[in-house]
Amino acid sequence: MTESRVRPFGERLVEAMDAHGPLCVGIDPHAALLADWGLPDDAAGVREFALRVMEAVGGRVAAVKPQAAFFERHGSRGVAALEEVVAAGRAAGTLVVVDAKRGDIGSTMGAYADAFLADGSPLAGDALTVSPYLGFGSLDPAVELARATGRGLFVLCLTSNPEGPEVQHARTADGVSVAAAVASRAALLNTGATPMGSVGLVVGATVGDTARRADVDLAAVNGPLLAPGVGAQGAGPAELARVFGGARRQVLASSSRGVLRAGPDVQPLRTAALRASAEAAAALR
């Protein structure tokens, strides 16, 4: 186990955000973007797209977030391309959040944890997105393995899709919202961690005052807050301040289209990423 893996993800993420700004560049090689870049909608096109993004931003931003589905849709060769992205991030010293949103029970969740969080797995980046909606305790295999290997988790909490509130805003018999219960469980896992714990939440940057209405105390989580939706999807400084308030320094702002639409050439991609990073720092720091 290497030194970087022994150190907790939360600690490494704070250092990366301090050094490069609080930006995570999403790597989303969907068909429309591939076409815009003049690349084929196949595994070779996905590989070229993703590695070009890594060439542009590797070593220059806090993190990258490859969306696993866009790789998996091309079968084994697409998954191999995802493995190359993970390796490229490691080589560049850039944290990799694998956006796979895994969630299951028992041995199946354990198998997902082995795939995305175990030392030696080619799919294991620095953190993994997970879904708690089979019960937060169903994530225990991932929590335990992430802790053992120094990796992190981002647990879905308050998402920006219109269907999310029917589950996330629902209240238990004692009046606690599901989102608040998820946040409380994450906070418990981060108790005493400094400068920040390694179990974070996914909170959409465009959800407005949803956290307040759902009684979610984001600052109390003491963990990172992955915020998709920055830039082209509508969230700027005012939106970030409204959503996160006093928890802004915990936020890792995620921008996909706002950076990727600057492609296909490396230099414009790099310029767009650095601009987005500076804007995120101005809004959050």
CB 200 within 8 A of CB 189: no
101 carries an active-site annotation: yes
Q: Domain spans of the chain?
A: 3-284
Pairing between β-strand 225-228 and β-strand 127-130 as defined by DSSP bridges: unpaired
- Return d(Cα 52, Cα 61) in angstroms, integer: 15
- Return d(Cα 197, Cα 218) in angstroms, integer: 13
Per-residue pLDDT tens listing for the chain (285 residues): 333 446 999 999 999 999 999 999 999 999 999 999 999 999 999 999 999 999 999 999 999 999 999 999 999 999 999 999 999 999 999 999 999 999 999 999 999 999 999 999 999 999 999 999 999 999 999 999 999 999 999 999 999 898 999 999 999 999 999 999 999 999 999 999 999 999 999 999 888 888 888 899 999 999 999 999 876 556 677 777 778 888 999 999 999 998 999 999 999 999 999 999 998 998 887
Handedness of CA 94, 272, 14, 104 (dihedral sign): negative
Tens digits of residue pLDDT in 152-171: 999 999 998 989 999 999 99
Q: Which residue is catalytic, options 5, 60, 90, 101?
A: 101
Q: Is 6 exposed, middle or buried (0-12, 13-18, 19+ CB in 10 A)?
A: exposed
- AA identity, residue 88: A
Top-level class of domain 3-284: alpha beta
CB 244 within 8 A of CB 218: yes
Axis crossing angle, helix 43-57 with helix 266-284, rounded to the nearest 10: 60
Looking up tokens 């939360």 gives: 10
How many other C-beta atoms are found inside a 10 Å radius of the C-beta of residue 122?
Answer: 12
Pairing between β-strand 225-228 and β-strand 199-203 as defined by DSSP bridges: parallel
